[in-house]
Amino acid sequence: MLTDTHTHLNARQFDEDRQQVIERAVNNGISRIINVGFNRETIPTSIELAERYDFIYSTVGWHPTDAIDMKDEDLAWIESLCSHPKVVAIGEIGLDYYWDTSPKDIQLRVFREQIRLARKVGKPIVIHNRDAHHDIVQVLKEERAAEVGGVMHCFSGSWETAKMCLDMNFYISFGGPITFKNAKQPKEVLAKVPMDRLLIETDAPYLTPHPYRGKRNETAYVRLVAETAAEIKGISLEELARITTENAVTLFGIR
């Protein structure tokens, strides 16, 4: 039984066939899904999905590309939602130096505020990192993120960066890019990540794995990620599914 630890089933790309997408995931052996809410629009719809399906859980947080829009009342709102029984983490939060939508200083402030909130409410964090490896690690250290731990979502960094994150109580998650032929570094890093810290995800509707690259991603395709990860680790798909699901249960405190 597989777990997709990061997906966006509430995205507009699924408005026409969301129920069928969820059914395909179940039919492909996905038993637990962590859906991500990351701004004013997606947090309520993510929680709605989690309330509708017993095997779907939600995160709540503020994405770095939207950091410029976050107000004090939004942070208070996120805090209030952390008591919801289906909210399992704060995220996705972090830094994005690729898209020029929020100034770096604002991204850093919002990131720090949410790590402090996670420590206050005792929730793990889901980290978005794009072209900001050094600053991500620095902030996680300075804000004592190891106290709550979390997951480095769709990890794309070096083994050196992964090792620093592992040392701070983080899991490392991989998605569709590990199935790409030219994905040398992610495959090398995955090979080194300890099995008890490994997670898999889709980030659907984005980052679609081979052979569907270029088309809309969906949660059922986490099976393709799992197959590649199992091959890299030299274990069976069943063993990979069992261990990564146990890891997700442990990290997110789900049943």
* Residue 254 CB coordination number (10 Å): 15
What does each of the 255 residues of the chain score in pLDDT, given as a tens digit? 999 999 999 999 999 999 999 999 999 999 999 999 999 999 999 999 999 999 999 999 999 999 999 999 999 999 999 999 999 999 999 999 999 899 999 999 999 999 999 999 999 999 999 999 999 999 999 999 999 999 999 999 999 999 999 999 999 999 999 999 999 999 999 999 999 999 999 999 999 999 999 999 999 999 999 999 999 999 999 999 999 999 999 999 998
Give dist(CA 164, CA 129) in Å, integer.
14
Q: What is the pLDDT of residues 187-227, one digit of tens each?
A: 999 999 999 999 999 999 999 999 999 999 999 999 999 99
For residue 66, what is the DSSP state? G
* Confidence (pLDDT) at 39: 97
* Confidence (pLDDT) at 239: 98
* Confidence (pLDDT) at 221: 98
Which residues on adjacent β-strands are paired with residue 57? 34
pTM, rounded to two decimals:
0.97
Give dist(CA 229, CA 133) in Å, integer.
23
Domains of the chain (ranges; CATH) run: 2-252 (3.20.20.140)
Give dist(CA 233, CA 200) in Å, integer.
13
Which residue matches tokens 């199992």? 230
The structure tokens listed for 73 are: 């009342």
